Amino acid sequence: MQLVPRQRYRLLRKLARHRSFRIGFIIISIMVLAALLAPIIAQYDPIAMRIRFRFRPPQAAFPFGTDQFGRDVFSRVVYGTRLSLWIGLATALISGLIGAFLGVLSAQYRKFDALLMRVMDALMAVPAILLAIGLTAALGPHTSSVIIALSVAYIPRTARIVRGSALVTRELEFIEAARVAGASGLRIMLRHLLPNAMGPLLVQSTFVFAYAILAEAALSFLGVGPSPPTPSWGNIISEGRDHSVQAWWIMLFPGIAISLATLGMNLLGDGLRDVLDPRLKVET
């Protein structure tokens, strides 16, 4: 009996061929490397002040210039990658996990759905960034409170997406097959609905990752982000704000980093969506 040729690595091969996924992957990989190897890449301590060197424009010794305390902006941006990526990753993970759970739960249990979705609608009525500002203001300017606030803000969107996918899956025959086999509601949720929502969930999570990096910058700019001196892209910009006319480089380079990271994650997400969404698949 002959079988269709093995297709185990089909998705990976398709991703590798997808142009925007490739570009996104390269950008994000470089950033992750920068975060991991920050002590090697950065020549200077990102926190220690050297007033003597303040406001140096970009030059060979300080490629991104220095700030008002004489700290090397390049070193700060490289170290800032750690905090910014961490906030993006943690927010994507937490909102992804909780959102996915709530999504399949409300797809499976219709009564819970009616209640939960009203709550989610109410949360979604408030713009995510406003919600996050309110929450971080209440929780205090810590990294963890930024992550919690952003996760809460993005959970409703993720839950909606997972719920939508699970509602479609629920009507498929294999769910009926599982019920005939006596499967419990929990099993149907975890073994059937959730795995089949992984595609949209993954795509949504890359977008949340990108939004979170952006939102962190906005929160820092408004003074409710992770507090200095630990650098994040957002608080580097925030600190450079008062000197933007004389030292434009303090805001420009972390700004570029934020744009690149957001772009990279969005490209990754686009690639995943194209490859994972069967509706966009090329018919053969």
Partner 1 sequence: MSTNSAAVPIAGVRDLVKIFSIKSDKGGAPLQLHAVNQVGFDIQPAETLGLVGESGSGKSTIGRLLVGLIPPTRGHVELFGESITGNDGGKHLSNVRRRLQFVFQDPYGSLNPRMRVDDCIAEPLDIAGGVSRKERADRILELLEIVGLPRSCGDRYPHEFSGGQRQRIGIARALALRPEFIVCDEPVSALDVSMQAQIVNLLLDLQEKFGLSYLFIAHDLAVVRSIARRVAVMYAGSIVEQGPRSEIYRAPRHPYTQALLDAVPRPDPERQRKPTLGGEIPSILDPLPGCAFAMRCPLVTERCRIERPMPREIDSAHLVACHLA
Partner 2 sequence: MSDLLEIDNLTVQFRGDSGWITAVDDVSLNLREGETLGIVGESGSGKSVTALSILRLHAAATTRHPTGRITYAGRDMLALTPRQLRAVRGREIAMIFQDPMSSLNPVLTIADQISETLRLHQGLDAAAARQRAIELLDLVRIPDARRRVDEYPHRLSGGMRQRVMIAIAIACRPRLLIADEPTTALDVTIQAQILDLLRELQSSLGMSVILISHDMGVIAEFAQRVVVMYAGRVVETAPVKDLFRKPVHPYTEGLLAAIPKLDVDVIRLPTIRGSIPDPAQIIQGCRYGPRCPVVLNQCLVEAPALLPAGPSRFARCPPRVAAP
List contacts with partner 2 (CB under 8 A): 1-2, 4-5, 7, 10, 13-14, 282-284
The pair of three-digit structure tokens given for residue 67, joined into one six-digit string: 């700030």
The pair of three-digit structure tokens given for residue 182, joined into one six-digit string: 């006596």
Asked whether position 1 contacts partner 1 by CB under 8 A, the answer is yes
174 binds, among partner 2, partner 1, none (CB under 5 to 8 A by kind): partner 1
Decide whether 196 or 262 has the Cβ nearer to partner 1. 196
Burial grade of 246 (CB within 10 A; 0-12, 13-18, 19 or more)? exposed
What's the min distance (Å) between Cβ of 234 and partner 1?
Answer: 38
Q: At what angle do helices 249-276 and 233-240 cross, to 10 degrees?
A: 150
22 binds, among partner 2, partner 1, none (CB under 5 to 8 A by kind): none
Rounded Cα distance between 239 and 220, Å, is 9
What's the min distance (Å) between Cβ of 21 and partner 2?
Answer: 16
At 181 the three-state DSSP class reads coil
Contact (Cβ atoms closer than 8 angstroms) between residue 226 and residue 212: no
Q: Is the preceding omega at residue 229 within 30 degrees of 0, hence cis?
A: yes
14 binds, among partner 1, partner 2, none (CB under 5 to 8 A by kind): partner 2
Decide whether 9 or 61 has the Cβ nearer to partner 1. 9
Asked whether position 196 contacts partner 1 by CB under 8 A, the answer is yes
Asked whether position 182 contacts partner 1 by CB under 8 A, the answer is yes
- Count of residues in the chain: 284
| Residue among 41, 129, 178, 263 that touches partner 1 (CB under 8 A) | 178
For residue 64, give Cα distances in angstroms to 14, 56, 247. Answer: 38, 9, 11
Decide whether 125 or 282 has the Cβ nearer to partner 2. 282
- For partner 1, the binding residues (CB under 8 A) are 1, 3-4, 6-7, 172-174, 176-184, 187, 191-192, 195-196, 198
